[in-house]
Amino acid sequence: MPATFPTNPATRRIAALIVAVGLFAGACGGDPVTTPASATTSSAASGRADASTGSTPEAETIPEDSIEVLPAALRTTMTGVSWRPGCPVSLDDLRLVQVSYVDFDGKLQAGQLVVHKAIAEAALRVFQQLRAARFPIRSMHLIEQYGGSDDASMAADNTSAFNCRNVPNTSHWSNHAYGRAIDVNTVENPYLPKGQVMPPAGKAFLDRGNVRPGMIVAGDATVKAFRAQGFVWGGAWKNGTDYQHFEKA
């Protein structure tokens, strides 16, 4: 049945006013209180979802610190590169240590080391301490990234551990071949066997009194952290001084 409009003038004016208000509200999209409230709730929920997942564009994805047996894929990658039959340790004796570190730009990066299982926990604790002290590390890649070449890894200023190889210029196993040695920031901390400088770029850091970021010197936080875990520092050796080298025999 069609709606009727009142005939009394006063009533007509009131009815017209009611209609006008209703039309204005419809043009504005409905109730001015509930709509913004719904939008605010939706935005807040979206924000909570992002916060709960940490999925912001700036967030870094860094694996948690861990120690694990060598994954099958890594065993395959290592064989014929850093490990081969006849090496003084088996792959079962080694562990993959994943630990984040602070780079030279002050940013967290994911690092990996392969070490002997007997020193894995000690190595992890050391690098956690270095991270807390914000000691800068250039990179921490497995030696496979450099084709098993210690020279290439050193030239890249890479921090690494296991590599089934001899001591340079000798025929006997390095402690790296047992997974019991770690080299840190190899350019800033060169190895000096019989007058050589390894890597050659380390010549810029022969003045150990001029301490720059990434260098390791006697009594500093890095030496103390390693020694607290039972490591010996090659930088204190009189012959074949090796500033980059720490070992736990």
Predicted local distance difference test score (pLDDT) of residue 60: 59
Q: What is the mean pLDDT of residues 91-110?
A: 98
Predicted local distance difference test score (pLDDT) of residue 195: 86
Burial letters 143-177, b for 16+ CB under 10 A, else e? bbbbebbbeebbbbbbbbbbbbbeeeeeeeebbbb
| pLDDT tens per residue, range 193-241 | 988 999 999 999 999 999 999 999 999 999 999 999 999 999 999 999 9
Provide the 8-state DSSP code for 238.
S
Predicted local distance difference test score (pLDDT) of residue 67: 98
User: Among 11-20, 141-150, 177-186, where is mean pLDDT lowest?
Assistant: 11-20
- What share of the chain has pLDDT > 70, as a percent? 76
Q: DSSP per residue over 50-101, as a string?
A: HHHHT--TT----PPPEEEEPPHHHHHHHBTTTB-TT-SS-GGGEEEEEEEE
Q: Is the pTM of this model over 0.85?
A: no
Bridge partners, 115 (sequence order): 95
Predicted local distance difference test score (pLDDT) of residue 242: 98
Q: What is the mean pLDDT of residues 116-128?
A: 98
